[in-house]
Structure 1
Amino acid sequence: MKKLFSYAFILSSLVILLSAKSDVPSTIDRPNIIYIMADDLGYGDIGCYGQKTIKTPNLDKMAAEGTRFTDFYSGNTVCAPSRYALMTGLHMGHAYIRGNGEFPIRENEQVLPKMMKENGYTTAMFGKWGLGQSHNSGSPEKQGWDEFLGYATQGHAHRFYTNNLWTIKDGKCESYPMDSLQHSHPFITEKAFDYLKKGHEKPFFMYWAITMPHAEMYAPPATLKKYLNPDGSSIFEENKPFVQKAKGGRSYRSQDKPNANMAAMIDHMDADIGRLMTLLKELGLDKNTYVFFTSDNGPHNEGGRDMEFFDSNGPLKGFKRDLYEGGIRVPMIAWGANVPKGKTSNEPLANWDVMPTFADLIKAKSPQNIDGLSFANILSGKKIAQKHDYLYWEFHERGFDQAVRKGKWKLVKQKGNTELFDLSKDLSETTDLAAKYPKIVAEMEKIVQTSRVDSELFPLKR
């Protein structure tokens, strides 16, 4: 009888212990998340998306060890609104910020870092914010960031050599003095890696908003040497040396080797991705950390950059400031945690889908009244649960342009013209089918009309 009692006691104790343990989230239920966003990196700028001249072995390895997305889109075709879409889960028909400028996120908006903090995460940002400054509602510490080092505004981020950056100190965003002879990217990168190295009592979300390869065209000097001849000239043909315009012109400084600098910036960034992956493995973080890599929009053609020289948009038409595929379709690679290895997804997705995806990954409730849909299922090897009926963009800097993708169809409205493309057969958007398929155009036009409301910052000029 005593033995029976002992067995029953042990069994009941095990049940209690196991049930208690199941209430404690595992590390994979509370994964760390690192989101890396390059600046003006084109769809064809890295090897696993077709780049032939610039070698990107680390990003290619990341894709081979993770999942590569072929049909991932930015929030917009320029910086600030694209980053706003990422942070809020809203597409351009519902966004407050729909163009570049010094426009801050409003105080009461639901944003990605706030969501992560509310669910027990520490938050850190390194690089380019572009959505507010220390004196307004968009200041990083007011939008949910615990730590920050980088550029607050787009204009400031045009300078890789600067006498100051910005940081959060004692709960406030303050100027951080810099040696103006030091390239900012390696400095910011080391600060990001230092953040990863320190112990974390809570799971963390790190947003690494890399400022390269945006103009101006200055790569870190040590990497640039790889692309120079012994006499200091570029190993590439430099057809478009950039000379700064007189006062009132663009802010980029003169540059006589933009192609060499372009290659060196992408090379340096790729090497940093390799260092990151090695560091995560050394710290034992690779099994419970998701890493994402993407770009904020298509490749620029500024500051002397010759986009055609490196075929930066690959098979796509257009570049930054276009709503053709080259301006908005961007690389996206997911790696780590449970992400399937060596997989490719062609599901049409956009960066406003990131917020609900992260909510699913951390077992949290997604914010309401957003346009994004979670693609967490793809990251666990399943088919996507929800699919977009359509994706919508608008752009205000050259008048008013709009674009819609619905399945294989893409409608582009600009400068009074309406074009229709079948992306399944015409990825380069060379053949306008609007006249051939008026019913499809009418259906897409209805989406255009019903997918937006005016923004007080960007009202339509009717």
Structure 2
Amino acid sequence: MKLKTEVEPRIDADERGYGGVCRNNLARSRGETHFYGRCGPSRRFFACSAIMLLATGLAFAARPSRPSPLPNFVLVVADGLRPDELGTRAVPTPALDQLAAQGIRFTQAYAGAPVDAASRAAIMTGQHTGHGRVRSELQVPLAPEDVTLAEVLRSVGYRSAAVGIWGLGWEGTTGLPTAQGFNEFLGCLDLVHGRDDQPAFLWRNEVPFVLKGNPGPAAAASAFEWMLRGATNFIRINEDHPFFLYFAPHLPGSSSELGAVRIPTASPFTNQTWTPSQRIRATRIAYLDEQVGKLVADLRKRNLDSETLVIVTSTASSDAANEMTEASKPRATPLSESNLRVPLIAWWPGKIAGGRTNNRPVAAWDIVPTLAQLANAPLPKQLDGRSFSALLLSQPPPTNSTRFYWEGHAGGLSQAGRIGQWKGVRALGKPSVAVYDLEVDPTESHDLAPTRRDLVAQFEALFAENSRTWSPPADGAVGAAGRPGYPIPTNVITQPLRTNSPPDGPATP
């Protein structure tokens, strides 16, 4: 069942996304709209404000302290970023490195699934692939009974925006972000649409907008710049209210999907003796770092850094394997550690002690209960994750042992699990379970199953306990290839998005 929430007034522009008539008094009084556009306060508003100032002798502070003690949350979800691609000399990532130096870095963080859509679903619902609705590379829309992180936070008063790739529902389905607890959405609903750096259009809530000049040369409108602008505008508008920003650009992504670098920056790696795909990937990692740096700079500019928890993580890195750090190694299997391990950095000045690393295993489905606990929000009943907020705040760690579970559905069912330091894998087409000691064998090279039948039995029980019957829906889903050609929807607004940035917003791309 959905968590019961009160409908909050939207501070919105007109349906075209331009400055126009605001829909409620709060928007009028602030003279702002979400993402794009601005409507000015009335003369009566200015006159009344002046009278109040003269009568009381009060002056506006730069940013008055907001009444709510709830923290803000910014969750950055990269696409296929490997933990060993950060902090290297080959590809400098100064913004992400600074977050890690001033916060905490988890060395054993896991994606929720070996494929993109299921990874995102685990982050958003707190369920692993044995229980969740989305378990494979098929894009399956979330249903009304699915409870997302945005809905959990909305139940205690948060305003939420999803910016970037969604992949959990498209137009006409129940999986739309605005049907799943988000107040605002800007980006690409479908995964394949999201992998176009210069798409012909972006979705703003349920309305598509043409990006004039796309597809075109690198100088044309970049989806990344529009998404970053939408993210910073959402922060600006909600700086005096608890907010949750889900920022998920297609970065770095897989260079195998791209014919050329199509991001608005010159590659600083042209002199490296790398393959073209490695050079493209390095450039995209650097650009992701730049985007994160701009987001954090915006929080600091608004004095929101001490009130905001920033978490940076990624979807599974299977598409990225062998492109940079493992170019000479055989391609890993989907449920191997090299594919499931992802970076996870948490930054919250004044709350998280800086310069720490933590080797306790955490997984994507742990994010929902963690943020819910920090926001004092009720938890949904169907939840696989456990909060790691104690690890963030240097409190006594939980005593429960690690018990993780994953499924893969490419060509059939494969399963993997982790119990403490042990990893169990039932590969596709193999009835037996292989067992590995990750403390001494992180590359999963030495199968201990012949001598550790006790562990085999534990993993067989774990697999049976967590795997619920599931088959890809016969309708309502699209494959990883998406809809052919991605035509602009018939109800598209042909007028392009504004090319000038709203006041106090980021620079125009």
Answer whether contact 2:138 2:472 (CA < 8 A) is retained.
Answer: no
Cα offset, 1:178, TM superposition:
1.2
CA offset digits 1:139-184 (Å, max 9, x no partner): 111111111111101121221121111111xxxx111211313221
Cα offset, 1:404, TM superposition:
0.7
1:273-312 alignment runs, 5 A limit? 273-301=292-320, 307-311=321-325
More off after superposition, 195-204 vs 70-79: 195-204
Equivalent residue number for residue 334 of structure 1: 346
Equivalent residue number for residue 4 of structure 1: none
- Alpha carbons of structure 1 residues 209 and 31: separation in structure 2 relative to 1, 3 Å: same
Equivalent residue number for residue 265 of structure 2: 223
Cα offset, 1:312, TM superposition:
5.6
Cα offset, 1:418, TM superposition:
2.7
1:403 aligns with 2:416: yes
- How far apart, in 2, do the equivalents of 1:398 and 1:327 lie? 18
Answer whether contact 1:167 1:174 (CA < 8 A) is retained.
Answer: yes
Amino acid at match of 1:311: T
Equivalent residue number for residue 143 of structure 1: 180
- How far apart, in 2, do the equivalents of 1:66 and 1:365 lie? 27
Answer whether contact 2:123 2:365 (CA < 8 A) is retained.
Answer: yes
Answer whether contact 1:125 1:145 (CA < 8 A) is retained.
Answer: yes
Partner of 2:97: helix, strand, or coil?
helix
207, 225, 229: which one pairs with 1:174? 207
1:188-199 alignment runs, 5 A limit? 188-199=227-238
Equivalent residue number for residue 43 of structure 1: 83
Show structure 1 runs of 5+ residues with no match: 1-24, 230-234, 239-256, 302-306
- How far apart, in 2, do the equivalents of 1:189 and 1:371 lie? 31
Equivalent residue number for residue 425 of structure 1: 440
- Alpha carbons of structure 1 residues 426 and 322: separation in structure 2 relative to 1, 3 Å: same
Amino acid at match of 1:84: A
- Alpha carbons of structure 1 residues 312 and 362: separation in structure 2 relative to 1, 3 Å: farther
Amino acid at match of 2:434: E
- How far apart, in 2, do the equivalents of 1:84 and 1:371 lie? 12
Partner of 2:266: helix, strand, or coil?
helix
1:250-269 alignment runs, 5 A limit? 257-269=276-288
- How far apart, in 2, do the equivalents of 1:352 and 1:100 lie? 18
CA offset digits 1:281-312 (Å, max 9, x no partner): 111000010000000112414xxxxx435216
Amino acid at match of 2:249: I
35, 57, 64: which one pairs with 2:94? 57
- How far apart, in 1, do the equivalents of 2:371 and 2:139 lie? 27
Show structure 2 runs of 5+ residues with no match: 1-64, 475-509
Partner of 1:354: helix, strand, or coil?
helix
Partner of 1:162: helix, strand, or coil?
coil
Cα offset, 1:236, TM superposition:
3.2
Equivalent residue number for residue 249 of structure 1: none
Equivalent residue number for residue 208 of structure 1: 247
1:355 aligns with 2:368: yes
- How far apart, in 2, do the equivalents of 1:308 and 1:318 lie? 7
Answer whether contact 2:155 2:377 (CA < 8 A) is retained.
Answer: no
Cα offset, 1:313, TM superposition:
9.5
- How far apart, in 1, do the equivalents of 2:86 and 2:330 lie? 17
Partner of 2:84: helix, strand, or coil?
coil
- How far apart, in 2, do the equivalents of 1:317 and 1:57 lie? 30
Answer whether contact 1:44 1:312 (CA < 8 A) is retained.
Answer: no
1:112 aligns with 2:167: no
- Alpha carbons of structure 1 residues 219 and 335: separation in structure 2 relative to 1, 3 Å: farther
Equivalent residue number for residue 438 of structure 1: 453
Percent identity of equivalent pairs: 30
Partner of 1:404: helix, strand, or coil?
strand
332, 337, 345: which one pairs with 1:325? 337
Partner of 2:463: helix, strand, or coil?
helix
- How far apart, in 2, do the equivalents of 1:222 and 1:325 lie? 33
1:374 aligns with 2:387: yes
- How far apart, in 2, do the equivalents of 1:396 and 1:203 lie? 38
Cα offset, 1:199, TM superposition:
4.4
- Alpha carbons of structure 1 residues 433 and 27: separation in structure 2 relative to 1, 3 Å: farther
Equivalent residue number for residue 31 of structure 1: 71
Cα offset, 1:398, TM superposition:
2.9
1:270 aligns with 2:289: yes
- Alpha carbons of structure 1 residues 43 and 199: separation in structure 2 relative to 1, 3 Å: closer
Cα offset, 1:135, TM superposition:
0.5
1:88 aligns with 2:121: no
Cα offset, 1:137, TM superposition:
0.6
Amino acid at match of 1:334: A
- How far apart, in 2, do the equivalents of 1:350 and 1:147 lie? 26
Partner of 1:109: helix, strand, or coil?
coil
Partner of 2:191: helix, strand, or coil?
coil
- Alpha carbons of structure 1 residues 119 and 332: separation in structure 2 relative to 1, 3 Å: same
- Alpha carbons of structure 1 residues 311 and 165: separation in structure 2 relative to 1, 3 Å: same
Partner of 2:305: helix, strand, or coil?
coil
Amino acid at match of 1:92: T
- How far apart, in 1, do the equivalents of 2:441 and 2:164 lie? 36
Equivalent residue number for residue 426 of structure 2: 413
Cα offset, 1:222, TM superposition:
4.3
- How far apart, in 1, do the equivalents of 2:330 and 2:237 lie? 44
Normalised TM-score (structure 2): 0.74
CA offset digits 1:108-141 (Å, max 9, x no partner): 2111111111110000011000000120110111
1:451 aligns with 2:466: yes
- How far apart, in 2, do the equivalents of 1:196 and 1:34 lie? 10
- How far apart, in 2, do the equivalents of 1:317 and 1:388 lie? 32
Answer whether contact 2:121 2:168 (CA < 8 A) is retained.
Answer: yes
Normalised TM-score (structure 1): 0.81
More off after superposition, 287-296 vs 393-402: 393-402
Q: Would you identify which runs of 4 or more consecutive aligned residues in structure 1 move more than 6 Å?
A: 25-28
More off after superposition, 416-425 vs 178-187: 178-187
